[in-house]
Structure 1
């Protein structure tokens, strides 16, 4: 697969979007593995719940844990297209979003190699990007400190799709998912040319979405220590 064919050209560098990256059968198999995981594997947050695989990232280093075979398969599929350059992903965060749930604008930060790969299962969502406050004064438009005014682009994430957020797009902007039950497709959606079944003005109803966020943690510890 030639990644350049899937670059989102209407966004700042560098985002790649691949629709139907996995099959419906692969989607169903992944969802089964996720929901068959032991109940203690889930962490309940106020607006979503998640599973953490591979270890807990920490500034002093991650104590690595082997990924289960079904996630290793995802990693191997990504390495075939060099999604994370020559790195081998070693951490997977699985988030479950029910309709109406989302995540505040944030950045993934320096604990990870500056490429994030996300596979979407079950439902679509819109991934919104925002200027940092540091960018407000430099921007030509008059922006205030609200997230609404700093939102400048969105990417439609369809079921079974893959998005790669790399380099400057990873480092220089915030990203988040708004808490709503439906999304109206506007001209802020930058990847419509890669979504042939969706057009401007469409209103898409969200259902439960599960995302696999796959990353490489460079700093890994070989032995267990206690962090303070």
Structure 2
């Protein structure tokens, strides 16, 4: 997609899922993808944080309930913060925080919400390999029924505990649909889908393309085919409203 292309978001809305998700294929070019990939792996080794099942880089500052101490965004990411800001989904704001996640084949993330530290829009650019983003009903919006790790660097993490009578409601029963994330695509999640539904990525090495993928008509995939996952880089681009100018004490 050329830099000066005007994007009509209404063309890319996914009407098979609750409001609101947009999926824009080929949001960046192959040349941009290669340059971003190189920049990710050229980053200093201390920028990587290893989690249980993947590793990530944090850029722009570390979100915290008391506020984020902003750090300068590198130009190779700032370019895309600006480009996404032009879509208007952050109103007049420019994203100021990026998580760079590396997913190897078989790695995913448990169903979660991104939480209240961010403006209620999340944008995500996929590099390298496809993946599948799955969405689920939450049992309840009542915080007493949800436990959270509070690990903002892990993109949030919420696990349901409430039971329906004597029977636990399974994750499969709460599944509502998926979005196929192809390389160079942008997905925007906002409104109800950001605040009231869980999203996650299954720990699998291959995916069966099926009718539950709400954006199939906007992809090059064919229903029924099986696609092997390779290494995927995810750029999760968000806006943190609460930014501090001085350092904060996070505890003793």
Distance in 2, Cα, partners of 1:132 & 1:73: 35
Unpaired segments ≥5 residues, structure 1 = 137-142
TM-score by length of 2: 0.85
Equivalence for 2:204: 180
Q: Following superposition of structure 1 onto structure 2, how do residues 23-102 of structure 1 map, counting pairs within 5 Å?
A: 23-102=29-108
- Deviations 1:165-222 (Å, cap 9, x if unpaired)? 0111100100000000000011211111111x21211111100000000000000101
Distance in 2, Cα, partners of 1:164 & 1:221: 27
Secondary structure, in 3 states, of the residue corresponding to 1:78? helix
Q: Following superposition of structure 1 onto structure 2, how do residues 210-225 of structure 1 map, counting pairs within 5 Å?
A: 210-225=233-248
CA contact (8 A) 1:83 1:117 kept: no
Equivalence for 2:225: 202
Matched, 1:110 2:133: no
CA contact (8 A) 2:14 2:214 kept: yes
State which drifts further: 60-69 or 73-82. 73-82
**170, 185, 201: which one aligns with 2:194:** 170
Distance in 2, Cα, partners of 1:6 & 1:187: 17
Q: CA deviation at 1:144?
A: 4.5
Distance in 1, Cα, partners of 2:199 & 2:110: 8
- Deviations 1:22-81 (Å, cap 9, x if unpaired)? 000000000100000000100011110000001110111011111011111111111222
CA contact (8 A) 1:120 1:157 kept: yes
CA contact (8 A) 1:144 1:150 kept: no
Count of aligned positions: 221
Matched, 1:155 2:161: no
Distance in 2, Cα, partners of 1:199 & 1:69: 37
Secondary structure, in 3 states, of the residue corresponding to 2:172? helix
Runs of 4+ aligned structure 1 residues displaced above 3 Å come to none
Secondary structure, in 3 states, of the residue corresponding to 1:133? coil
Matched, 1:2 2:13: no
CA contact (8 A) 2:17 2:176 kept: no
Unpaired segments ≥5 residues, structure 2 = 1-6, 142-159, 161-166
Distance in 2, Cα, partners of 1:85 & 1:178: 32
State which drifts further: 143-152 or 38-47. 143-152
Secondary structure, in 3 states, of the residue corresponding to 1:101? coil
Distance in 2, Cα, partners of 1:9 & 1:150: 19
